[in-house]
Structure 1
Amino acid sequence: MRQGKMYSVAQPDGIIQQQRNFVLLLTCLGAIMVLSLLLAVSLGSAKITAGEAYRIILYKAFHLNINHIAEQASLAHLDIIWEIRLPRVLMSAFVGAGLAVCGAVLQATVQNPLAEPYILGISAGASLGATFSILLGGLAGILFGLGTAVWAFIGALAASLFVMTLASIGGRPSTVKMVLAGSIASALFIALANFIIYIASNAEGMRTVTFWTMGSLAAAKWDTLALPAAGVAACCIFFLTQFRTLNTLLLGEEAAISLGVDLDKVRRLYFVITALVTGLIVAACGIFGFVGLVVPHVVRGVVGADHRRLIPATILAGAIFLIWADVLARIVLASGELPIGILTALVGAPFFMYILVKQSLNFGGQ
């Protein structure tokens, strides 16, 4: 009796301590993200101190002329921070958060730790749509004036539908069939994109597509930031409310159905949302592979598989990861900029091999 009483008292204390630790973790991640934003805008070929960058942002955003920054800072520094670096850093934060949360959601949706937009072929579909828009674009401009973004979403959605349809052949789609279908979709859509590149006679467009397929944030501006930022923000807010359904999906298909989850409906909805976000990201920045694979796994190892904790931590960690990946891409080469997609692949491919080799994935456990 005494031991049972001690256990009943200790258990709430342990839960409260876990909640406190998680709040502390989120606070630290939020502080790291803000600090990363401030430091990232000060790093680059032009040497600008973090303090000067901070004062420039306050001056441009809120018209606060701290220490007479308008008189002290050169016009070039004002333009570099506000017009070039800040939109780029914000874009990297939104893109990292969006890809990471899409990876976490897809891993739960198909109950496979290898799932993410790049591996499931969604990125390849978005790439095909954007390549079509850039090289053969006549029809792109008639769709609400959004052009490449619309076609990237159409390609991503087509890839998602293709994967779900292919995996459903012969019965209910399984987790293994979904990943295999994603691999097929990725190969097919990349081949079609390469075919368009091969037959196109637009030399300038071919150079654009070639650089864009390696992923880059160099084109990030205030006017190109709004659409992907809004899409990622809406996606993150939605999936923050879906933690119960995502946790139920981790129990397996039969358990989820027995608990009242309409598995086909949920999968279609989540695939469409991730396709939309992936299409917006690919249209704006190109392809960044493995971000949705690496970040959720690292975060899951820290906070566990409960999506109440996993989703918010993944959003912040994804933003931090891509902010610093972009900084490294900007400064690693003295002669120019390294496409960020190369860096994410160099990090993600070994991590992918590690997951394949590892026998105990602890996926769905604490």
Structure 2
Amino acid sequence: MQFLDEVRITVGAGNGGHGSVSFRREKFIPFGGPDGGDGGRGGDVYLVAQENLNTLIDFRYQRRYRAENGHGGAGRQMTGRAGKDLEIAVPVGTLVYDEDTRELLGDLRENQQRLLIAKGGRGGHGNLWYKTSVNRAPRQFEKGGLGEERNLRLELRLLADVGLLGLPNAGKSTFIRAVSAAKPKVASYPFTTLHPQLGVVRVGEHESFVLGDIPGLIPGAAEGAGLGTRFLRHLRRTRLLLHLVDIAPLEESDPAQSVTALAAELEAYSSELAGRPRWLIGNKADLLPLPEAAQRFQAICKELAWEGPAFLVSAATGAGCKEVTQAIWRALPEIPPAPEPSGDIDWYDEEGAAEESDWDEEDWGDTDWEDEEEE
């Protein structure tokens, strides 16, 4: 399935129906007077959050949406039928921005949450409305009002309590498979994860939290290297970050340096995000004898002068994973929620990214996973 987390669409509410010019004409009633009815209102446009959606891919193929126009009034004081409202389904976790003003219009965090995004035009008055004691046969009427139109930017941010952070091949996908029912693709080559994954971690019968796995980051991600900031934004709703590090990398790189490098990328992208609680998880302990693995992980923590919680695990065998999830569950009530989003975020002005404004182009931006293997 393709994954798309940012799109632009145009929505238009329905126009109001015109008022009617009509006169009552019946036998034996020579002065029936005006009886033109009002026009119906135009349909409104709503965005509705749906928990069964996890991507904005449907908007790739349809970019323009319009609600039904109101119907015109008629004789015998008949008001025109109102236009039907239009409801557009979006995933839970969608941020809605006005593309022209860059104003945050809404944050759809709950299932079935509705957001009125464009108001339909008012129906016009018929000539009955203009009848007065001195104007008994008015022929004027009012046209229906125009419905609102908006250019919108929709941005999907995953709703996860805990986010996984690490270099490619750090074992994030294996870890989320070990602690939840999520089944992301796992392979022994970089960038196996091409789009974010969510998993519900159950620590008791009625106790659970949501864990998010984003594609592996590399140095320079805050400036667009690799998968860049397109997926860093998915960490912005998380309350706690788990920084996974491979304690026995095949390329003989320094694990402590990799932790420092990714911490610098977080700081470059968002100082607020970098300041959130972050735990260190030493992964792939099964590749070494246990005493050697523990000794190596202690050396990494010492080199980093790590003061926060640190755990040694093997995501492949599940060793140590339960202890991590239990500790997270105990810590989450003490961690404040992520701050509310604002309009001050990335608008991707670089060439070929989201500032593309031609609505008739076949493709948008640079997010096209069409050729990737379905996960």
Q: Shorter-chain TM-score: which interval? A: under 0.3
TM-score for the superposition, normalised by structure 2: 0.22
Please give the TM-score of this superposition, normalised by the length of structure 1. 0.23
Largest Rg, 1 or 2: 2
Q: Which has the higher contact order (CA 8 A, sep 6+)?
A: 1
